[in-house]
A and B are shown apart, each in its own frame.
Chain A
Amino acid sequence: MSETAQVTEEHIQGSQKKPKATRDAYGETLLELGRKRSDVVALDADLSCSTKTGKFAKEFPDRFFNMGIAEQDMVGTAAGLALSGKIPFASTFAVFETGRAWDQIRLVVCYSNTNVKLVATHGGITVGEDGASHQALEDIALMRALPNMTVIVPADAAETASVINTIVDYKGPVYVRLGRAKVPYVMPEDYQFKLGKAFVFHIGKDANIVAAGITVDMAKKAAGILSQEGIDTGVVNMSTIKPLDEETLLRVAESSKIIVTAEEHSIIGGLGGAVCEFVSEHCPVPVKRIGTLDTFGCSGNPDALLNLHGITVGNIVDTIKASLKK
């Protein structure tokens, strides 16, 4: 799709392929990688059924290490495996991966610059009923603050597969944030993920939405609605949140009357934070951040929670309209 293409029906309708959870795509891709490469190993902390590393574990029991409920030990062991020449993929829920093991990630992964791939599932509010203790809304902020860390949030199952196949060949720490819930396919059929490169669906002359993860789908739908009302709205999938694709963001900012960021994360320190930090220094335009406010999540079904926190197509549309009126 060219960058100047107008928003089409396909944008609004989305792909016809059945929705699929990004964690499922991870499990399948990791298994394929295991078949192709003997240096790929996997670790988990008693959640291999949920993170889907269980697929790899079943076929490659010798290269899979279940660390039990011990996330700090898992990250340390992954660093050790990396130092022995392996490519470790260490998975658990995003809260525990980034929160419980943060100092281990800081010292033996980032500071030591080891080749550890932290692929966490159950990111964000769509974890649902388990509630706040299990909903990572700060993980991107935590990971983004660490030198040497790369932070990626894929938008759909296909992009996830592309991400996993890419990072295996990248040397250094990577954090990939995946979701629990099924998500529609949103990227074009022939799309290939490039590390550090945002995907531009369209750059709008009025407003632009910068999204990552599940909000890319919402952004496309919002842009469709707004464009039909004559508000030229662009959509960018900023799947690599760090390093930020500054070149693309600059082009977007230069064309925007307003930028809206949308993410399934706190508006503090995540994608919205990253965009604001860059834009305010290099091309100040108003930025509105959509995400969870300075609050914890709660139990409830994922859709109800998205509504509660205003992470919706409707709120993106309203936010842009309200901002342009001013």
Chain B
Amino acid sequence: MSVITNGKITDIQELKSVAKRIRIKILHMLTQSGSGHTGGSLSAADVAVGIYFSKMKFNPQNPTWEERDRFIMSKGHAAPLLYAIMAEAGYFPEETLDQLRKVESPLQGHPCCRKLPGIEVSTGSLGQGLSVANGMALGLRLDNNPARIFCIMGDGEIQEGQIWEAAMTAAHYKIDNLCAVVDNNELQIDGAVEDVMGIEPVHDKWAAFGWHVIDIDGHDMEEIVRALDEAEKVKGKPTVIIAKTTKGKGVSFFEDKAEYHGVAPSHEEFDKAVKEINNE
């Protein structure tokens, strides 16, 4: 028998303070490793905290517990966010975060399911997570397993054709035990998403593909929790939450800057950033 030792925080203030701790952990591990993806880890932090701590059932002591809800970080470069959450949830000791990107580390540059229990599938090549999420959801349905799947994608990532193949699949097979999120921070590596390869109108695209679409402010914890509740109630079709976010959120000098996509903070930047987050 498994025990749910985490998840299900209902108090919004408490979720917000978890999110603060997660941001600091992200910055700590990136500073420590000297490389990695700052912007996209910070932008998705609030939504990921909402998913893990207000919604998901899981057991860090038993990562393969059959009834666990599953999470896929399709935008695998946000690995630091996922690791910070897993450390907070108790999957591994906090000190392990210092191993980010080091040789023989369970904390690979991009999530590796063979090296870290609790990671469902390896990601890092963009555009592949939603297909896997669909497959897991279909498998659970066949087994009458009530567990649900969550999948976070980047807004640049949805330029990949495979995302739209998966979008068709989810609607075609009426996959309603799946909740996808687009981290709509409007930036990718080469600049603004709309300049590189426009994806608008995002809402209408998903709707036209047969999805239930919820638009939220991806940094408003109340809206996040409400959207996750709504998604759970939608039957007969998949749900996608379009979370309007800010890349680098929480650290003024990283915010909205494409340059900080894949750059780790310096030690001085780290100190300044932590002060900002704590004073927020």
Contact = CB atoms under 8 A, between A and B. Distances in A.
Partners in one complex: yes
Interface stretch (A126-134, A145-153, A157-165, A276-284): A126-134
A128 B122 CA distance: 17
Nearest to B259: A49
Chain A interface main SS type: helix
Interface stretch (B153-161, B206-214, B224-232, B267-275): B153-161
A69 B159 contact: yes
A133 B124 contact: yes
B33 A68 contact: no
Given A46-B188, A131-B108, A68 B103 contact: no
B188 A68 contact: yes
Interface in A215-271: none
Contact of B103 (A44, A49, A133, A299): A299
A46 B110 contact: no
A70 B108 contact: no
A35 interface: no
B189 A47 contact: yes
Contacts of A69: 126-127, 156-157, 159-160, 188, 197
Contact of A300 (B101, B126, B156, B188): B101
A285 interface: no
What does DSSP make chain B's interface, helix, strand, loop or mixed? loop
B124 A305 contact: no
Contact of A131 (B112, B127, B159, B188): B112
A300 B103 CA distance: 4
Contact of A72 (B105, B122, B161): B161
Interface string A23-62: 0000000000000000000001011111000100000000
Contact of B110 (A96, A128, A134, A308): A134
Interface residues of A, number: 32
A47 B105 CA distance: 27
A293 interface: no
A134 B189 CA distance: 15
B76 interface: yes
A27 to B, nearest CB: 14
B200 interface: no
A67 B199 CA distance: 12
A129 B196 contact: no
A299 B112 CA distance: 10
Contacts of A83: none
Contact of A134 (B36, B124, B190): B124
Nearest to A304: B103
Given A47-B189, A131-B110, A131-B112, A299 B102 contact: yes
B41 interface: no
B110 A49 contact: no
A317 interface: no
B108 A46 contact: no
B156 A68 contact: yes
B108 A298 contact: yes
B109 interface: yes
B35 interface: yes
Contacts of A44: 190
Contacts of B246: none
A73 B161 contact: yes
A227 to B, nearest CB: 33
B101 A129 contact: yes
Nearest to A308: B103
Nearest to B126: A69
A167 interface: no
A95 interface: yes
Contacts of B104: 298, 300
Given A67-B197, A304-B103, A49 B189 contact: yes
A305 to B, nearest CB: 7
B125 interface: yes
Given A48-B190, A69-B188, A300-B102, A129 B197 contact: no
A49 B189 CA distance: 8
B134 interface: no
B197 A49 contact: no
Most interface-central of A54, A68, A308 (chain B CB within 10 A): A68
A90 B101 CA distance: 29
B123 interface: yes
A22 interface: no
Contacts of A299: 101-103, 105, 107-109
Given A46-B159, A69-B159, A133-B125, 5 more contacts: A66-B190, A69-B126, A95-B125, A133-B112, A133-B123
13 contacts: A66-B196, A66-B197, A68-B159, A69-B157, A69-B159, A70-B161, A100-B125, A129-B33, A129-B35, A130-B110, A132-B110, A299-B105, A305-B103
The 5 nearest A-B residue pairs measured at CB: A68-B197, A133-B124, A300-B103, A131-B109, A68-B159
